[in-house]
Amino acid sequence: MKNILICNRCRFLSVAHVKSIETVEIQTSAVCDMCKETIEKQLAFTKGVTSAELDVKTAIVTVSYKTNKTTIDDIRAAINEVGYDADERKAGKEAFDNLHECCKKDAH
Ligand SMILES: [Cu+2]
């Protein structure tokens, strides 16, 4: 976990910003590039998330977020909403059933 980030907007390492953004790694059930796109897009629209990048090989998504705007659990819930597991939080059944066949975990 990184606590120190340079604020993108002001380009200053400001005390006020130092602890407001955290970066976490979340294990997902993504299996392909389409999953990557779905999850990254979902997180791009998730309140408080400043960046998200998923590594298809490991299915780990690295997420930076504003600690005063959201929590890790809310981010996991956002991933569940589009049909993927996030750490110990399992995807909703309905969202999972709506996934493309090739995107369902264990499909590969
Ligand atoms: Cu997929």
Reported confidence tier of residue 21, pLDDT bands at 50, 70, 90: very high
Is 99 a member of any domain? yes
Q: Strands 49-55, 21-27: parallel, antiparallel or unpaired by DSSP?
A: unpaired
Is 74 a member of any domain? yes
Separation of CA 34 and ligand 1 centre (Å):
4
Is 13 a member of any domain? no
Is 11 a member of any domain? no
What are 60-88's pLDDT values in tens digits? 999 999 999 999 999 999 999 999 999 99
Is 5 a member of any domain? no
What are 97-106's pLDDT values in tens digits? 999 998 998 7
Separation of CA 37 and ligand 1 centre (Å):
8
Distance CA 66, CA 16 (A): 12
pLDDT at residue number 105: 82
Is 108 a member of any domain? no
Q: Which CATH number do you get for residue 41?
A: 3.30.70.100
What is the pTM (predicted TM-score) of this model? 0.81
Distance CA 82, CA 95 (A): 6
Domain that residue 99 falls in: 21-103
Nearest to 105 by CA among 28, 41, 27, 26: 28
Is 48 a member of any domain? yes
Answer yes or no: are the C-beta atoms of 29 and 85 closer than 8 Å.
Answer: yes
Is 43 a member of any domain? yes
pLDDT at residue number 69: 96
pLDDT at residue number 13: 60
Separation of CA 73 and ligand 1 centre (Å):
23
- What's the domain count of the chain? 1
